[in-house]
Structure 1
């Protein structure tokens, strides 16, 4: 049976990935300390997976888990809040970089050779340079400890692959939305907060004028891309994962209102420091690999609302 380890598997993207892997018949092990993820996200598959509520910074524990010699390792564990990384740079660094390097080093020392070690990075590494679209070889400008750690960890991932014969890839997520995204943090995905406000008839605070652009991508297309990349011979490369379409936030909100058949109450506020004005992925590298999204923005928004209104 094909085995997979998913760190951060109780989180938003991680839990969606676990569902898909279980559906494919994988034997899945999840490590998540539930600091950001929710056990409820995995409730439907909990009896079909091995779940460890544990911190990935506990290296001794992680080594015992890695000794199972998994076919695939998906490294999603992270403190995903940019604001948190600014407030607690070293604590978040331990999760976002040190734990990744320790895992890679253990694979090297023990000569463990998964079919793929996949590290999830972020479009945050590009920063605010004006060039668009962002190509994987575009210049980077990580502006926060979170972005610095993501960039350093993806370089470690790729270099360990090249230097020590591991099959590694790193992916840079653009703006992901969809089921199981936690809206409780003010720094969580904007569409999850919009969803919560629509469900509860609450006012939504829009920072900036709404013309800031993002490359939104539905979580199911993200998950499909992760599995697709891991199952190809692709190795020692970085891949952007987005749709390659630039959308103004206010336009996406209006599209979502149509899907919900409800109008959002919007309060405009000043832009937040560090917010990026424009974002757009160049997805040529992923497309050349043969990946095709199945959902797209409009269908993703429609299905997300259907899920939210049935589970809200």
Structure 2
């Protein structure tokens, strides 16, 4: 029997794209739950806050999670959704120290905190670890730290005991995605460029593929895994590979090729077999989403 989500739920990164959407879903699905968001607002923004007395927003670092919790006298969490990490591939080369601090030091403290309270950890792993027969986990600082965190969580559970389930996101898109600045997502960038009447910039060679997953599907997956998942291997994608040049062409209009970026993998496609064991299947398709976006915003 899967656990019911009630009482206190913690969402790290709760002011971000995925974390904010997760909190909105939890409020609907679990009206008796009290939700705490811990976010350092590196990418998260108050615009993603939900105006609801059941949610407490804390501006702080995951490295200080135990002290923050104790100082505020908060009740023990039942479930910890750990979304609050550094999550960009190319930028992690320049942000090496931030990647290390957010992903290694911060996650170490979150794991220890979760186990200490007897809570269940739902961790957002990176799909980058599966590329090129697992070799892509070494392509960049981001993928490497995320892969090491998976090893750490699994070992920690064996060493000390920890109830956990690990999910993997495949190129999340949808309302609320980051569309400006150096941390913008691919679909967010394409949408911004389309609305501005600019050519869409496609990273060379354009044949590299990604498996794009709608935010609504990701959130359903997280909740289902929290209820009934255990252990590693819950890949949340669609199982469909989209070449980036083909994605740009779906928007119509012009596109331009830009130089290849360091650390990027050539293919991305999810094996959603294990996610299906908790009753999850993707419901949204990228081509339908883009067609609706273009129809709603004709040039």
Gaps of 5+ in 2: 1-5
The residue matched to 2:37 in structure 1 has which SS? strand
What corresponds to 2:105 in structure 1?
98
Q: Select 2:227's aligned residue among 220, 228, 231.
A: 231
- State the partner residue of 1:161: 157
Equivalent position SS for 2:165: strand
Q: Give the Cα separation in 2 of the matches to 1:273 and 1:139.
A: 15
Determine whether 1:33 maps to 2:40.
yes
Mapped partners of 2:148, 2:69: distance in 1: 22
**Which segments of 5 or more consecutive residues in structure 1 lack a partner in the other structure?**
132-137, 258-262
Q: For residues 210-258 of structure 1, what are the alpha-carbon distances to aligned partners after superposition, in whole Å with 9 as ceiling and x for unaligned?
A: 22111111011001000000100x2222321111111112223333x2x
Q: Distance in 1 between matches of 2:69 and 2:233?
A: 26
How many equivalent residue pairs?
289
Q: Against the structure 1 CA distance between its residues 226 and 287, is the aligned structure 2 distance closer, same or farther, given a 3 Å change threshold?
A: same
Pairing 1:267–2:217 present:
no
1:134 alignment counterpart = none
Q: CA deviation at 1:305?
A: 6.4
Partner of 1:12: 17
User: RMSD of aligned C-alpha atoms?
Assistant: 2.4
Q: TM-score, normalised by structure 2?
A: 0.87
Structure 2 counterpart SS, 1:57: helix
Q: Which residue of 2 aligns with 1:135?
A: none
Write the distance in 1 (CA, Å) between the matches of 2:34 and 2:106: 23
1:198 is matched with which residue: 183, 187, 194?
194
Alpha-carbon shift at residue 47 of structure 1 (Å): 4.3
The structural deviation recorded for 1:304 is 6.1
Distance 1:140 1:158, change over 3 A: farther
Q: Is the 8 A contact 2:90 2:264 kept in 1?
A: no
Tell me the residue number matched to 1:174.
170
In the other structure, the counterpart of 1:218 is 214
| In structure 2, C-alpha distance between the alignment counterparts of 1:296 and 1:213, rounded to whole Å | 15
> Is the aligned partner of 1:45 residue 2:55?
no
Distance 2:278 2:220 in 1: 13
Q: State yes or no: 1:240 paired with 2:235.
A: yes
